[in-house]
Structure 1
Amino acid sequence: MSLSLADILAAARTIRDLAVRTPLVPSPHLARLAGHDFLVKLENTQPIGAFKLRGAANAILNLPADVGGVTCCSTGNHGRGVAYAARARGMKAVICMSALVPQAKIDGIRALGAEVRIVGRSQDDALAESRRIAEEDGLVEISPFDDPLVIAGQGTIGLELMQDRPDLDMVLVPLSGGGLAAGVALAVKTIQPSVRVIGVSMDRGAAMDASIRAGRPVEVEEVASLADSLGGGIGLDNRLSFPLCRDLLDDVVLVTEDEIYRALQTLFYEDRMVAEGACVVGIAALQAGKLPVPKGPIATIITGRNVDMTVFHRIMAGQDVSLGDLTLKGQAYGA
């Protein structure tokens, strides 16, 4: 199964009435750090507060009219996208999630009328339940990342980036199961092969990074993270997102929880934006000096705003934050 720019262009036409074309805005503070224009793509302005609406909408709007309902596993935002798109089509939606998913994301999905099932303590547990429901109840499973229509939908972000700033030198993409990174890289590299596309993830439980290094999909231990949206495996039977990320990404960079903590503060205090930890991994990589030397403008994707506000408030106040067995020592911004 192959994907092309034509699939992404088709997705853009399909989702245009459900997902919005999001702004690409400059960050003067980050530009000073980078030495070049630094732009942020505001997917947190989507109706569900996250980019996942694009892929979910493309998959669900392409389903036959006689489909009775859909199911998926999710760390939060994909489930919200599936619930939103299913409601728009009048379909039943069952979202399977692990106990690691923040309550704010669970509540947001239920508010859209979907049924939520909490299963196990990993994305793999939630995936197994979603597949069981699909088989036993006759629902269509919508993969969060390993589906051609989902990848094409996410790829519309890359299309918009190149339309708005064809002079980009580097695109920083939060990396989890790889649907976003695969779609964005496919669009960007097809339009302008010289643009460097860098996947960025947390340094604990980064499944796609471990899989690329191993040369095949592998399992990782899922742990609590400020970048909770990047948690979970990529599936040992991964057909699409793994080979696309392996072949198209120029590099993968990992950042620590402390670096994510500081990047959340930077985005809020310098650009006045509320975002999830997963959104700021590109900013964290820039601040930590982990990126290749830029030769021109850089863009990163602010993937969502559906953050646990209790944790967010603690970070903005420079307080300690507990992540399972890890405690992040607080630090006031600029101290």
Structure 2
Amino acid sequence: MNSTIVSEFILLGFPMAPHLRIFSLCLILLSYTFTVMGNLVIIYLVFSDTRLHFPMYYFLCNLAVMDICFINTVVPGMLKGFLHQGVHISLGSCLTQFFVYFLVGTAEFFLFAVMSFDRYLAICHPLRYPMVMHRYMCIQLIAGLWLGSFSTIVLPCVLTFKLKFCNNLIDNFFCDASPLLKNSCTDTTMIELLSLLGASTLYISVLVTLISYFKIVLATLKIKAGDGRGKAFSTCSSHAIVVTLIYSSCIFLYAKPAKGQGANLNKKVAILNTVVVPLLNPFIYTLRNQTVRRSLSDILLSYSKTRKSHVK
């Protein structure tokens, strides 16, 4: 095949009118700012307040780190695309983005399953919880989910890195699997099969999460106090919204063959797990928590008193 092997790609992003481009830029930039700030606040609170030195908050802190990594992998390039139609990205940068995106994304699936199991133990087996979910177990689980993520994606990524690419146009706002493989000069069947096999981990994560929340709901129904039951259902329903968004969008995008999907629809769905879910995570999973809110208000109050004393 007489094709030029490319060393740089052009991300086409979202074709739209100039006024819509500016509006989208402002909206995404605002979401990006709130996401980063919200997650940084969570990380600071967990490290600085001993009241948050418990397994659930360690997992939430890890989720905050993941969301910061995840959104910084994709969104800066998206913002650049709103300013300039057709963003140039080197082959090395594109493949690095591809690797980090799937590494963090897969780790987050595992983390959602771990967090749901943690809540199941805490609510359904409160007496056994301290013995099972101790600090060493938390470290093992966090290390295990990162290792599991790396093991799941490493082989498809290595094979993708070895591909030769003949087309330099990527009809997306980041280096996603489907548009990247479409640009290859060589056969990608093996990579697609391995990717589908890796996507089975998504179903395992979904299954663990669903079973855990189902058992939590059954336990909640046994609560006699109306306020306690309403609070538990409120928490579960808000968590279910986030989990449904991320799982449904990722099943649509990745749990099927990469080729033959509509690019425009894929880009719109990808916004859910690259922008919307990282924005919702800190506010739904953490900042609605009473202990976290109390910790935040104490720090703000302390800062306010310190500032007033300096002024005097």
What range describes the TM-score normalised by the shorter chain of this pair? under 0.3
Q: Which has the higher helix share?
A: 2
Compute the TM-score of the two structures, normalised by the length of structure 2: 0.26
Pair member with larger Rg:
2
State the TM-score, normalizing by the size of structure 1. Answer: 0.25
The answer to which structure, 1 or 2, has the higher relative contact order (CA under 8 A, 6+ apart) is 2
